[in-house]
């Protein structure tokens, strides 16, 4: 699921900004997506 979301998030973000490939920004987007997924999974499984 995460691997499927990464290219989608990147393309969506890249279309919005309209800039050439920027690895720092790309990694920042991945980090934000990862933290969001992690927090939702924590809530789902009830891990405190």
CA nearest to 29, candidates 45, 43, 17: 17
Instruction: List the chain domain ranges.
Output: 2-43
* pLDDT at residue 48 in the model: 53
* pLDDT at residue 18 in the model: 58
* pLDDT at residue 29 in the model: 86
CA dist., res. 39 & res. 20, Å (int): 30
| Stretch (H or E) spanning 7 | helix 2-17
- pTM score: 0.44
* pLDDT at residue 20 in the model: 66
Chain CA centroid to CA 36, Å: 8
CA dist., res. 23 & res. 44, Å (int): 31
pLDDT in tens, the chain (48 residues): 667 777 777 777 666 665 566 778 788 888 999 998 888 887 776 655
CA dist., res. 33 & res. 35, Å (int): 5
């Amino acid at each position: 699921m995460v691997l499927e979301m990464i290219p989608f998030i990147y393309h969506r973000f890249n279309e919005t900004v309209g800039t050439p490939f920027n690895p720092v920004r790309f990694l920042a987007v991945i980090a934000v997506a990862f933290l969001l997924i992690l927090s939702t999974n924590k809530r789902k499984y009830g891990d405190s």
